[in-house]
Amino acid sequence: MAPAHHLEPQAVLRFAPSPNGYLHLGHALSALENERLAAVLGGRLLLRIEDIDRARCPPHLEAAMIEDLAWLGIPFEPPHRRQSEHLADHRAMLARLQAMGLVYPSFESRSDLKALAEARARETGRPWPNDPDGAPLYAGSGRAMPPEEVAARLAAGEPHALRLDMAAALARLDAPLTWTEVDAAGQPLRVVPAHPARWGDVVLARKDLGTSYHLAVVTDDALQGVTHVVRGMDLFEATAVHRLLQELLGLPAPLYRHHDLLLGPDGRKLSKSDQAEGFRALREAGVTAAELRRQLGF
């Protein structure tokens, strides 16, 4: 009899930039990290355009981004998933969380939220805590709003965000929440304890969009069968929220690799507005893709 082979399912990786600016070297690094791990694992490499915020992601920036990645020579498997075309998938995931009683509307504006956090700080005599991105934790009262008031405001069509009831969500877990971080060869490095409570009652659906980064990324990673999420350290803390949503929704947990960020000359993380660090400028200055890859250590 032929020996039984355990066929490892094929690895699936994705690079998932938001085209709200031109690509910078930090994106190039992340794309190359994805390419390298996909090659090591013999996996598939997908490109996902994270454009739920349509107003900030005009078509010319998406086109420029795809062209810059093609110039760099990264072999993304077509077709590219455009996140804004899958809002119904995000809504379906959200509906499952709503059916579990874990979602509530919050009607505050951004300036209301800032004022509420300041008022709480004055009341308690201590600074109101921030989430890992530096925004004040939700200090509103949406979760405690009487159901009749919620119903009346919804019926009146008042704009609102939808938030996760973090305490109720955590109470549903029956085991400590963790994720596995892998190295550049895809080998397990360590198991990281996840602390989603640091984010408070996170927004799952923005007022203006009906979805959010966290909801969209978890939904699309699952629907695309992503097995390895490779992205920058700036998203390390967000992974706690993603793992929580995956557990609540019964979705598989990918492995994660959060790579170091490239820093600008001022020692800060590169941002898309750092045009000087843009691909385009380098391309126009005659740098070749091979030189750029070498410069980034690939």
Judged by beta carbon, residue 16 or residue 194, the one nearer ligand GLU is 16
User: Closest Cα partner for 83 from 202, 209, 206?
Assistant: 209
Work out which of 90, 231, 257, 258 binds ligand GLU, going by CB under 6 A.
Answer: 231
Torsional class of 73: left (φ above 0), alpha (ψ -120 to 50), beta (otherwise): left
Helix runs in 125-185, H state only:
147-155, 166-171
Least distance from C-beta 146 to ligand GLU, angstroms?
37
DSSP letter at 53?
A: S
Q: Does 220 bind ligand GLU (CB under 6 A)?
A: no
From 11-19, 146-154, 257-265, 289-297, give the range in contact with ligand GLU by CB under 6 A: 11-19
From 10-18, 52-60, 202-210, 273-281, give the range in contact with ligand GLU by CB under 6 A: 10-18
User: Closest Cα partner for 33 from 9, 8, 16, 52?
Assistant: 16
Least distance from C-beta 213 to ligand GLU, angstroms?
7
Buried/exposed 22-60: b ≥16 CB within 10 Å, e otherwise: bbbbbbbbbbbbbbbbbeebebbbbbbbbbbbeeebeee
With H, G, I as helix, E, B as strand and everything else as coil, classify residue 114.
helix
From 12-20, 52-60, 168-176, 198-206, give the range in contact with ligand GLU by CB under 6 A: 12-20
Judged by beta carbon, residue 57 or residue 177, the one nearer ligand GLU is 57
Q: Does 21 bind ligand GLU (CB under 6 A)?
A: no
Q: What is the separation of C-alpha 222 from the centre of its chain, rounded to a whole number of angstroms?
A: 13
- Whether residue 92 contacts residue 62, with contact meaning beta carbons closer than 8 Å, is answered with no
Known active-site residue 269: no
Q: Does 23 bind ligand GLU (CB under 6 A)?
A: no
Least distance from C-beta 145 to ligand GLU, angstroms?
32
Q: Does 217 bind ligand GLU (CB under 6 A)?
A: yes
For every residue of 258-290, DSSP letters joined together read EEPPPB-TTSSBP-TT-GGGBHHHHHHTT--HH
Least distance from C-beta 204 to ligand GLU, angstroms?
16
Q: Does 24 bind ligand GLU (CB under 6 A)?
A: no
Q: Does 201 bind ligand GLU (CB under 6 A)?
A: no
Set 114, 207, 269, 272: catalytic member: 272
Beta bridge partners of 241: none
Segment 47-86, which members bind ligand GLU (CB under 6 A)?
A: 50
Number of residues that bind ligand GLU (CB under 6 A): 7
Provide the annotated active-site residues: 272
* Binding residues for ligand GLU (CB under 6 A): 16-18, 50, 217, 231, 235
